[in-house]
Amino acid sequence: MKRKPKTPPPSSARLFNEPHPAAASAYTAHIDGGSRGNPGPASYAVIIHAPDGKEVFQIGKYLGRKTNNVAEYYALIAALDYATSQHLTRLKVMSDSELLVRQMQGRYKVKSADLRPLYERASQLAHSLEYFAIQHVPRAMNRDADRLANQALDRTAGESAWRSEPSDDGVVQVNKPVSEVEQTMSKTVRVRAHYVNGVLVPFEPLDLPDGTEVSFFLTQPHKI
């Protein structure tokens, strides 16, 4: 019986002990992702340096309720997205996630249904580069990215700090969390719902992360 071949890793996702002339001129990305709880409130961070050591990009972003491994993949994809958007052709990635690194190197299989589409997206982006390498490093060597990811979580003030206020007509208004307000400006969502069998059922789906707790004020209808 013929064995089905494994999904190949990005062709240039080589181990760092394999010399490559492009490595010296590659940009370097330190990435990190994590969650407080698994799943739980999660964030990721990316810091990218040019070949001369100058920092050219950094981001720390809150994701909502995710697992550690999903957050790690978001960080990798963010680094690859930046590289492709800026027309960079050579990228080295440093990560303290052994699972992420080994999967991208083709040494571990991607069994998780949640990780599979993220892996495929990352692989597609990596294939578009002239040179891509990824290395597992100790957490101590990834301290700055770890700090940035934790700062993104801290800015959310408990990840579920969604503020709710009633309007004059009793319709609930739900504001986005602090981290998203800082990045995309405040956006208010007006929510109308039916009360059915002891449960409030929104007329339309709410764009909220799974597990979000929302407090609200309710104006009860009254007879005249």
59 and 125 belong to one structural domain: yes
- Of 154, 184, 209, which residue is a domain's last? 154
52 and 139 belong to one structural domain: yes
For the domain that residue 63 is a member of, what is the CATH number?
A: 3.30.420.10
149 and 165 belong to one structural domain: no
- Of 117, 132, 154, which residue is a domain's last? 154
Name the least confident of 47-56, 99-108, 181-190, 193-202. Answer: 181-190
Alpha carbons 149 and 143: distance in angstroms, whole number: 10
146 and 185 belong to one structural domain: no
Report residue 58's pLDDT band, with 50, 70 and 90 as the boundaries.
Answer: very high
Report residue 212's pLDDT band, with 50, 70 and 90 as the boundaries.
Answer: low
Mean pLDDT for the chain overall: 77
User: Is 15 a member of any domain?
Assistant: no
Pairing type for strands 55-66 and 90-95 reads unpaired
Q: Residue 207: name the closest of 185, 179, 188 by CA.
A: 188
Total of domains in the chain: 2
**Between 163 and 103, residue with greater pLDDT:** 103
Domain hosting residue 169, numbered range: 160-224
Q: Residue 106: name the closest of 22, 193, 11 by CA.
A: 11
**Between 149 and 1, residue with greater pLDDT:** 149
56 and 137 belong to one structural domain: yes
Residues 6+ apart with CB under 8 A from 196: none
Condensed to tens digits (0 to 9), the pLDDT of residues 2-16 reads: 554 555 555 444 444
Indicate the pTM of the whole model.
0.65
194 and 93 belong to one structural domain: no
Alpha carbons 132 and 126: distance in angstroms, whole number: 6
Pairing type for strands 131-136 and 90-95 reads parallel
Name the least confident of 67-71, 92-96, 152-156. Answer: 152-156
User: Is 41 a member of any domain?
Assistant: yes
208 and 99 belong to one structural domain: no
Condensed to tens digits (0 to 9), the pLDDT of residues 130-141 reads: 999 999 999 999
Greatest CA span in the chain, whole angstroms?
Answer: 82
